[in-house]
């Protein structure tokens, strides 16, 4: 990440104004404040030269309210919340922080595997269900807990990776060399040589992965080809008792089909860090299921990842507004 020689202000000497309404790392906030003003009030949106987006959607209507906007910094890798064509039409530079949070997301993906396999969330609920006044001796409660919380081990199982970018390759390294899992991966351009670098073997199709994997991890961007890709048909191709992990984008998965597969016992379990509706609510039927684990889009929410990604966004904003080339521009066709 480039840090040297960043400008102190916009071209022409005027201090920059950056819109920020979401949490980023304190050090990135400090860097922005050193170089200009941070605005968090939507009523002042028309003043801003730049903005940082973690989850807000920026389309034509939002851009209309920001006539001075010169740069949009995506706090991460996915750009599906930004109308890229509209930004290009208006001459707005879009930058991002590709793969800088890959380790954090990979670690959460593996953590979710363990949570489902070892019933970690369910175990807490079992403890709470007994209460202090259950009347049963500790040994009896222990026996009941062990009978309903029988888990499975990852060692010797097959991990299927759909997508084989920075996050998936880190998952492959962790599960292959840390847990002794076999790893099979699918990506349209994946070669045997690249797969072998991460202890994996390539599959010819997504369906091949689904049919052999005990755990399937999705590591894909959201676009028209991937939206709804985990349909009822594809979920039905997975091995009986298999587990699905999604830390990529919610709309990759047909949530109603996933609910039916989990409730009916076709799948052994699933865990999602992302949902079709954005932040999940208790009205989501998936949350009723004991074999489903949910987290609220925290894959990249570690101190280390927030620092690296936040600083990349801040530095690039300062660079662009000072007339310099950003380190990670989004190339818009």
CA distance 38 to 206: 45
Full set of structural domains in the chain with CATH:
16-100+302-321 (3.40.50.720), 102-120+151-294 (3.40.50.720)
Q: Find out whether 184 and 176 touch, Cβ atoms under 8 Å.
A: no
pLDDT digits (tens, 9 = 90+) for 228-261: 999 999 999 999 999 999 999 999 999 999 999 9
CA distance 136 to 34: 61
Query: H/E/C letters for each residue in the chain?
Result: CCCCCCCCCCCCCCCEEEECCCCCCHHHHHHHHHHEEEECCHHHHHHCCEEEECCCCECHHHHHCCCCCCEEEECCCCCCCECHHHHHHCCCEEECCCCCCHHHHHHHHHHHHHHHHCCHHHHHHHHHHHCCCCCCCHHHHHHHHHHHCCCCCCCCCEEEEECCCHHHHHHHHHHHHHHCCEEEEECCCCCHHHHHHCCCEECCCHHHHHHHCCEEEECCCCCCCCCCCECHHHHHHCCCCCEEEECCCHHHECHHHHHHHHHCCCCCEEEECCCCCCCCCCCCHHHHCCCEEECCCCCCCCHHHHHHHHHHHHHHHHHHHCCCCCCCECCCC
Binning pLDDT at 50, 70 and 90, where does residue 130 land? confident
Token pair listed for 96? 């991002």
| pLDDT of res. 133 | 57
| pLDDT of res. 11 | 56
pLDDT digits (tens, 9 = 90+) for 310-321: 999 999 999 999
**Statement: residue 6 has pLDDT above 60:** no
Token pair listed for 233? 């048909």
Binning pLDDT at 50, 70 and 90, where does residue 55 land? confident
CA distance 254 to 232: 7
Binning pLDDT at 50, 70 and 90, where does residue 134 land? low
| pLDDT of res. 51 | 97
pLDDT digits (tens, 9 = 90+) for 271-282: 999 999 988 999
Q: Find out whether 39 and 17 touch, Cβ atoms under 8 Å.
A: yes
Residue 176's alpha-carbon distances to 107, 201, 311, in angstroms, are 13, 11, 32
Task: Give the distance, in angstroms, between the CA of residue 275 and the centroid of all CA atoms in the same chain.
Answer: 10
Q: Could you identify the residue written with the tokens 């170089």?
A: 35
CA angle 210, 216, 218 (to 5 degrees): 110
**Statement: residue 158 has pLDDT above 60:** yes
CA distance 208 to 317: 43
Token pair listed for 251? 């709309």
Backbone angles phi and psi of 204, in degrees to 5: -80, -25
Per cent of the chain over pLDDT 70 is 95
**Statement: residue 1 has pLDDT above 60:** no
Average pLDDT, the chain: 93
| pLDDT of res. 12 | 57
Q: Could you identify the residue written with the tokens 């840390």?
A: 178
Q: Could you identify the residue written with the tokens 């954090």?
A: 104
Binning pLDDT at 50, 70 and 90, where does residue 140 land? confident
**Statement: residue 2 has pLDDT above 80:** no
Residues 6+ apart with CB under 8 A from 332: 84, 85, 87, 88, 94
Q: Find out whether 79 and 330 touch, Cβ atoms under 8 Å.
A: yes
pLDDT digits (tens, 9 = 90+) for 182-229: 999 999 999 999 999 999 999 999 999 999 999 999 999 999 999 999
| pLDDT of res. 316 | 98
Backbone angles phi and psi of 93, in degrees to 5: -75, 125
Q: Could you identify the residue written with the tokens 């299927």?
A: 160
CA distance 147 to 5: 62
Burial call 6-28: b when 16+ CB within 10 Å, e when fewer:
beeebeeeeebbbbbbeebbeeb
**Statement: residue 305 has pLDDT above 80:** yes
Give pTM, 2 decimals.
0.90
107-121: average pLDDT: 97
């Amino acid at each position: 990440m480039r840090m040297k020689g960043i400008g102190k202000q916009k071209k022409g000497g005027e201090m920059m104004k950056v819109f920020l309404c979401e949490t980023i790392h304190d050090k990135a906030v400090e860097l922005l404040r050193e170089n200009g003003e941070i605005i968090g009030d939507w009523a002042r949106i028309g003043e801003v030269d730049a903005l940082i987006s973690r989850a807000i959607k920026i389309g034509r209507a939002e851009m209309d309210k920001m006539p001075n906007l010169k740069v949009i910094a995506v706090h991460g890798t996915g750009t599906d919340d930004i109308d890229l064509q509209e930004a290009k039409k208006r001459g707005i530079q879009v930058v991002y922080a590709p793969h800088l949070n890959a380790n954090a997301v990979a670690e959460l993906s593996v953590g979710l595997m363990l949570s489902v396999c070892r019933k970690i969330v369910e175990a807490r609920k079992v403890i709470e269900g007994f209460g202090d006044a259950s009347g049963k001796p500790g040994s009896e409660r222990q026996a009941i807990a062990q009978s309903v919380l029988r888990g499975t081990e990852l060692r010797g199982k097959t991990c299927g990776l759909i997508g084989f970018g920075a996050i998936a390759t880190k998952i492959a390294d962790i599960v292959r060399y840390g847990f002794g899992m076999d790893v099979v991966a699918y990506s349209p351009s994946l070669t045997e040589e690249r797969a072998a670098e991460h202890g994996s073997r390539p599959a010819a199709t997504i369906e091949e992965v689904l049919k052999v994997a005990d755990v399937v991890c999705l590591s894909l961007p959201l676009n028209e080809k991937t939206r709804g890709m985990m349909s009822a048909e594809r979920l039905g191709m997975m091995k009986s008792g298999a587990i699905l992990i999604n830390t990529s984008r919610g709309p990759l998965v047909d949530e109603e089909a996933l609910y039916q597969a989990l409730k009916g016992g076709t799948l052994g379990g699933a865990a999602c860090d992302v949902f079709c509706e954005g932040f999940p609510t208790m009205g989501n039927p998936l949350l009723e299921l004991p074999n489903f684990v949910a987290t609220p889009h925290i894959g990249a929410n570690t101190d280390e990842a927030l620092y690296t990604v936040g600083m990349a966004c801040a530095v690039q904003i300062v660079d662009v507004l000072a007339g310099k080339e950003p380190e990670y521009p989004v190339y818009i066709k």
